[in-house]
Amino acid sequence: MTVQIDLSGRAALVIGGGGGGIGSAMLDAVARAGADVGIITFVPEHAATSVAHAESLGVRAAAVVLDVTDEATLVAGIAELAAQLGRFRHLVNVVGGSLADDWHRSAEYDMDAFDRLVGRNLRYAVVSCREVARELLAAGEEGSIVNLSSAAARGTPLLGAYGAAKAALESFGRTMALEWAPKGIRVNAVAPGTIRTPRAGTTDMADAAAQEIPLGRRGAPEDIANAALFLLSDLASYITGVTLAVDGGTTIGGRGGDGLPTFVTNPAVRARFGS
């Protein structure tokens, strides 16, 4: 028996779609499943290429370029895309992450970095979930939302603020799942482990660190997109309020010999923070 995910006749919003990595894989997966795709990106050149790619797969697509941490701008952007594509039945929040400049030991934490990471990983996602759900609730329609969390939500050296923001996103997601379940709106999360993306890059140390992952490799963006697509789809119609770890088994073990997480692959960073 062949199982095929079909989102045709629906519109999906991908915040952080395009530009390579998980966002591009997510955009591709949703479009291949037949959904019309709204794309929010902060990189102007990604907007046109992302729309062109989605349209090449036979679906409608539209994009806006904005700063997701600006609430008013984000709300307006979501409304603009919905006006073009119709009410969004599906939402994936991909934007997030933590750059090395924002990594700190807990006893030395910089609160400006903390605020930046909360805005980039938690606040915008709450706003987008709220906006999409409001429209679904008003129309009496069912839908599904997937937020990208992180293995760091369970506690990771150097990433206190990032991990806290992702843990809060998981918690808020469970609350939304409970509140909206009677109306048929599901909210889940995917927690990636170490993923091979253009931003993460490839180094000899990265490949060596991958051997600390139980499955012996870093994940591909498609690993995350496939998991998220499943949770978006009707195949997961009885699943809500969960966080699915897609990390090659890192949840059950996987830390470098110097005590740092396996995803810290930059030699200079490991030298800076290693014990």
Summarize pLDDT for 158-179 with one digit per residue, the tens.
Answer: 788 899 999 999 999 999 999 9
Catalytic residue among 109, 124, 162, 238: 162
Q: Which residue has the tokens 């927690």?
A: 191
- Closest by CA to 63, choosing from 73, 48, 74, is 48
Is 109 one of the annotated active-site residues of the chain?
A: no
Q: Is 241 exposed, middle or buried (0-12, 13-18, 19+ CB in 10 A)?
A: middle
Query: Can you give the pLDDT at residue 155?
Result: 81
Give the model's pLDDT for residue 109: 82
- At 56-87, the pLDDT tens digits run 999 999 999 999 999 999 999 999 999 999 99
Going by their DSSP bridges, the two strands 36-41 and 143-148 should be labelled as unpaired
Over residues 109-149, the pLDDT tens digits come to 888 888 999 999 999 999 999 999 999 999 999 999 999 99
CATH fold of the domain at 11-205+214-253: Rossmann fold (3.40.50)
For 2-13, write each residue's pLDDT tens digit. Answer: 678 999 999 999
Q: Which residue has the higher pLDDT, 137 or 96?
A: 137
What is the per-residue pLDDT across 217-254, written as a single tens digit (0 to 9) for each?
Answer: 889 999 999 999 999 999 999 999 999 999 999 888 75
Burial class of residue 55 (count of CB atoms within 10 Å of its CB; 0-12, 13-18, 19+): middle
Higher pLDDT, 256 or 114: 114
Domain spans in the chain, listed from the N-terminal domain onward: 11-205+214-253
Determine if the pTM surpasses 0.75.
yes
- For range 35-49, the mean pLDDT: 96
